Chains A and B, each alone.
Chain A
Amino acid sequence: MKKLALLMLEIKAIMGNSAVVLTMFAGVIFYSFLYPLPYANQTPREQNISIVNLDKSQASYQLERMVDATPQITVVQRDYSIKAAEEALLTHRNNGISGISGILVIPEHFYKDLLLGKSPVLAYAGDASFFLVYGTIIEGLANAGSTLAAKTKVSHLLTQGLPVDYAGDHVSSVKLNMKPTFNPGMGYIHYVVPAVFVLILQQTLAMAAGLMGGTQKSGHGYWRQYSSGQVFAVRSITLVGIYVFLSLYYFGVGFEMYGINRLADIPTMLAILMPFLLSTCFIGIWLGAILPRRELVTFVVLISSMPLIFSAGVIWPLEIIPSPIIWLSSLFPSTPAIQAFVAANQMGATLYQIMDKLLLLWGLTFLWGVVAFISFKRSNESD
């Protein structure tokens, strides 16, 4: 009975703490709309380029049309010399207008060289300050170039007297079939959101747990009347309970809203969620206990977000992150949890395949549980 009373008091304290409510509910819902916002269009398309056609042959005009027809590129202007195009690129930048991002040069004698089998060289120069724009244009040019190359080859073969069917099949001696797997549309939301949502859950839960401790540090209330162990347990259960629902919102409604895959079944989700939420809650309680003022909890958690998301191995590959950084970031539940959730939801991994991440999460739960309990007890029982 006494424990039930404590639970009620704890829930009341959480709901009555405006900073906690603001962070937990308003924050979680606000972020679920804000983070995916810039990527709403999923993939960059129709990037502007200029073409300098020095050949002016039929084949080169055909190439221009092919380039323009790719979804990645729009030809917005034609220049008559490389110099003019360069100036156009720079003046656009100079005036702060997002004008052309690249220049394609079709060399003189392009058509002649093509017919002679001399492999003419298409030159492209693009603004690499923005990788995605640059990559998109390169992709579009490669598509257009290889299509024209294939066409030329087919007509070569036809002139040698081979039948059309045969020629079509023999554009190259090896055919390559590239299959993007798990995120077939290469959508940016599908790339960023599954990872970022996990981080948001961690950061807001850690803030909420820390703010509770920070708020109650000075002052007397029910938390002094019960044993530290009881308060610690009830607080963890309550916050984790609330976060199970908030997680359902993220992985259910949130993923649905953005059309993101959720391949994992509910037991798998819960198996990752439990140690993740528990260890996160413990980190929050620990921060609340060791930091002298509650706003510092929010501050510390806030500034840790960017290093944590970039070292989690989803945005930037683990293979090229220096190992000391990986060890450090593995101390925080977001790293194994992001990897486990992405593997289970986006790639359909089974529990067995993410076992190492689950073990790490339980290890962290134990570690942070002990650390948090010791510092919480010390802070709660001192005045």
Chain B
Amino acid sequence: MTFRAQWQLFYRDKWLFSCLTWVPILLALSIWAIFFHGTARDLPIGVVDLSHSQLSRTISRQLDASATLAVNDNYSDVSQAKNALISGDIYAYVVIPGQFDRDIYRGQSPQISAFYNSQYILVGKLVSSAIISAVGTANAQIEVLGSLSDGNTTTQSAVGRALTIRTQITPLFNKNTNYTQFLVSAIIPALWQIFIVAGTILIITANAANKGAAAGSTRLSVGQVMTTLSFYIPLFLLQGALFLLWFYVGFDWPMNGSFVALLFAQFVTCIACMIMGAFFYFLTHDAARAISVAGAFTAPSFAFMGITFPVTDMNTAALIWRSLLPISHYIEVQVSQVSYGVSWIVALTQLLPMLGYLLPLFLTYLLITKRRNSSELAV
């Protein structure tokens, strides 16, 4: 089939056209919109202040002053706060005991309890570290005042006594620890993979239907499948290039590596995904079943990428499944290029496992020729 004829088929089939053009863009934008605010701010928490003293209000104010937290409610008893936590109105509540100020003045170290919702790990971790640091600051203030009131120290030494060890933490490669950059730059490639694998199936289906009748798919030859699919490689590569452009030029996220290496990795990934799509199609010879299988293959790939949960902590079965997914090899190249700026030789070695897709390619070849031969015999 000529490129011209393929273009007409592609353009006339409004659903195929949409699924490969504006739908992926719309979806990518929606993912970006979800994570638009890259840092969690003003997460609601509650305070149960049983002491109602000046010192307990210092704690409360210090919590509210944290960028991550916002003290939305004050509860008069613990059960109210607990219910609010269960209903999801607040992510944590802090209980300041009665006689808090008296205990402090007597040097009896009262205990503040903070109950935070760890079901939502991401929020839970943010909230808990914000509470620790806010209470730590309040604690230091109280201690400094205490030392100064003893009258035998300077302010600086009093501060030193209060905070015996300080830590200075420098995040490398994602300087403002921004979740947008962290999540979007991994979710979009995962989506891209879904679109290539499922899109390949839709393309072959459209072409098979074009050949006429239900037996259409058996009439496609290996050569025809390859020419047809090669028509769409530039389209998928364009999508890949667009998201790179969007991330590292549009958003101006730090990019330390080479675009050439990334584009090459995308090319290899795209071919691998198309092989898998074609493999699923000719394995099932039915578009709906093929997309179901493709879904099982690609849909969980974000979890296996190792961006949220580290690869080093996955078990062997998970690692095996991970290595079957084209996008997990791609994301290694992307992270090492973007964050660490490694040389292109490393990128090439990271892509070596992709040679494994020659096996499904070979199987697809066998599947196509076998079907074709048997259908020719039947005719």
Q: What DSSP secondary structure best describes chain A's contact surface? A: helix
Could you tell me the distance in whole angstroms from the C-beta of A135 to the nearest C-beta in chain B?
6
Among A93, A132, A174, A317, point to the contact of B110 (Cβ < 8 A): A174
Asked if A306 and B112 sit within 8 Å, CB to CB, the answer is no
**With A121-B168, A173-B146, A303-B195 in contact, do A93 and B336 touch (Cβ < 8 Å)?**
yes
User: Which of A234-242, A244-252, A318-326, A373-381 touches B?
Assistant: A318-326
Does B306 touch A at the CB level, under 8 Å?
yes
B115, B168, B292, B308: which has the most chain A beta carbons within 10 Å?
B292
Q: Does B317 contact A (CB under 8 A)?
A: yes
Known A44-B310, A181-B117; contact A303-B27, beta-carbon cutoff 8 A: yes
Which stretch (B155-163, B225-233, B259-267) binds chain A?
A: B155-163
Residues facing B in A20-66 (CB within 8 A) are 22-23, 27, 30-31, 34-35, 37-41, 43-45, 47
Is residue B339 within 8 Å, beta carbon to beta carbon, of the partner chain? yes
Whether A38 pairs with B289 at a CB distance below 8 angstroms is no
Give the interface centre of B139, B169, B304, B349 by most chain A CB atoms within 10 Å.
Answer: B169
A240 CB, nearest partner CB in chain B, Å = 20
**A182 close to B117 (CB less than 8 A):** yes
Residues of A within 8 A of B307 (CB): 130
Contact of A96 among B39, B120, B198, B336 (CB under 8 A): B336
Question: How many A-B contacts at CB < 8 Å in the complex?
Answer: 350
Nearest-CB distance from A20 to chain B (Å)? Answer: 9
- Bound CA–CA A179/B93 (angstroms): 10
Chain A CB within 8 A of B118 CB: yes
B78 to chain A, nearest CB (A): 12
Judged by a CB distance under 8 angstroms, whether B374 is at the interface is no
List the A residue with the shortest CB-CB distance to B18. Answer: A296
Question: Is A259 in the interface zone, CB < 8 Å from B?
Answer: no
Q: Please pick, from A134, A176, A291, A320, the residue contacting B171 in the complex, using a CB distance under 8 A.
A: A134
Q: Do B339 and A38 touch across chains, with their CB atoms under 8 A apart?
A: no
Q: Does A78 have its Cβ within 8 Å of any Cβ on chain B?
A: no
Is B31's CB under 8 angstroms from A183's CB?
no
Looking across the interface, which residue of chain A has its beta carbon closest to that of B197? A302
B29 nearest CB neighbor, chain A only: A307
Mark A161-202 against chain B: 1 for CB-CB distance below 8 A, else 0: 000000001111111111111111010101110000000000
Docked-complex contact A149 and B164, CB < 8 angstroms: yes
A363 at the interface (CB under 8 A from B): no
Can you name the residue of chain A whose Cβ is closest to the Cβ of B195? A303
Interface flag for A6 (CB, 8 Å): no
Which residues on the A side are within 8 Å of B336 (C-beta)?
93-94, 96
Q: Are B160 and A119 in contact (CB under 8 A)?
A: yes
Interface residue B300 (Cβ < 8 Å from any Cβ of A): yes
B107 touching A178, Cβ below 8 Å:
no
B15, closest chain A residue (CB): A296
Tell yes or no: B234 within 8 A of A by CB. no
CB distance A40 to B288 under 8 Å? no
Evaluate whether A179 and B87 lie within 8 angstroms (CB atoms) in the complex, with A141-B167, A299-B202 already known: no
A 285-303 to B, binary, CB cutoff 8 A, 1 in contact else 0: 0000001111111110011
- The answer on a CB contact under 8 Å between A114 and B343 is no
Set of chain A residues within 8 Å of B73, measured between Cβ atoms: none
Q: Is the CB of B113 within 8 A of A295?
A: no
Is B314 among interface residues, defined by CB-CB distance under 8 A? yes
Q: When A174-B104, A178-B128, A325-B33 are in contact, do A119 and B165 touch as well, CB less than 8 Å?
A: yes
Task: Write the chain A residue with the least CB distance to B340.
Answer: A93
Q: How far is the CA of A140 from the CA of B219 in the complex (A)?
A: 62
CA distance A101 to B121 in the complex (A): 21
B295 in complex: contacting residue of A156, A173, A302, CB < 8 Å: A302
Say yes or no: A39-B34 contact (C-beta < 8 A), given A128-B177, A178-B116: no
Partner of B138, one of A114, A174, A342: A174
Confirm or deny: A366 has a beta carbon within 8 angstroms of a beta carbon on chain B. no
Q: Does B37 contact A (CB under 8 A)?
A: yes
Instruction: Report the minimal beta-carbon distance from B21 to chain A, rounded to whole angstroms.
Output: 13
Which residues of chain B have C-beta atoms less than 8 A from A94's C-beta? 336, 340, 342-343, 346
Contacting chain B: which of A8-16, A221-229, A268-276, A308-316? A308-316
Within 8 A of A (CB), among B64-113: 83, 85-88, 91, 104, 107-113
Given A41-B315, A96-B350, A319-B44, A293 and B15 contact (CB-CB distance below 8 Å): yes
- The yes or no answer to A220 lying at the interface (CB within 8 A) is no
Mark A116-139 against chain B: 1 for CB-CB distance below 8 A, else 0.
Answer: 111111111111111111110011
Q: Point out the residue from B202, B294, B309 that lies within 8 Å of A44, measured CB to CB.
A: B309
Q: Is B174 in the interface zone, CB < 8 Å from A?
A: yes
Q: Which B residues are in CB contact (< 8 Å) with A299? A: 19, 198, 202, 291
B residues in contact with A296, CB < 8 Å: 15, 19, 202
Of B109, B113, B166, which is within 8 A of A119 by CB?
B166
Cα(A247)–Cα(B164), bound, Å: 54
Measured in the bound complex, the distance between the Cα atoms of B146 and A176 in whole Å is 19
- Inter-chain contacts of A126 with B (CB < 8 A): 169-172
A320 and B166 contacting across the interface, CB-CB below 8 Å = no
Question: B19 to chain A: closest CB distance in Å?
Answer: 6
Nearest Cβ distance between residue A225 and chain B, in whole angstroms? 24
* B114 contacts partner chain A, Cβ-Cβ < 8 Å: yes
Mark each residue of chain A from 93 to 116: 1 if its CB lies under 8 Å from any CB of chain B, else 0: 111101000100000000000101
**Neighbouring B residues of A159 by C-beta, 8 Å:** none
Given known A-B contacts A131-B182, A298-B288, A317 and B321 have beta carbons under 8 A apart: no
Given A190-B119, A325-B33, A353-B87; A125-B109 close (CB under 8 Å): no
Q: Nearest-CB distance from B113 to chain A (Å)?
A: 4
Say whether A295 contacts B187, CB under 8 Å: no
Does any Cβ of B come within 8 Å of A349's Cβ?
yes
Q: Which 7 A-B pairs have the closest CB atoms?
A: A295-B287, A128-B171, A180-B118, A128-B174, A149-B164, A93-B340, A298-B291
Q: Using CB atoms and an 8 Å cutoff, list the residues of chain A in contact with chain B.
A: 18-19, 22-23, 27, 30-31, 34-35, 37-41, 43-45, 47, 89-90, 93-96, 98, 102, 114, 116-135, 138-139, 141-142, 145-146, 148-149, 152-153, 156, 169-184, 186, 188, 190-192, 207, 211, 214-215, 291-299, 302-303, 305-307, 310-311, 314-317, 319-322, 324-325, 339, 342-343, 346-349, 353-354
The contact sample of 9 A-B pairs, CB cut-off 8 A, is A22-B293, A93-B339, A93-B342, A122-B165, A145-B165, A174-B139, A182-B117, A293-B287, A319-B43
Give chain B's interface residues, CB within 8 Å of chain A: 15, 19, 23, 27, 30-31, 33-37, 39-44, 59, 83, 85-88, 91, 104, 107-125, 128-129, 131-132, 135-136, 138-139, 142-143, 146, 157, 159-161, 163-175, 177, 179, 182-183, 187, 190-191, 194-195, 198, 201-202, 205, 286-296, 298-300, 302-304, 306-315, 317-318, 321-322, 332, 335-336, 339-340, 342-343, 346, 349-350
- In the complex, besides A173-B146, A306-B302, 11 extra interface pairs with C-beta distance below 8 angstroms are A34-B300, A94-B343, A148-B165, A173-B143, A174-B59, A174-B104, A174-B138, A292-B15, A295-B287, A295-B288, A320-B40
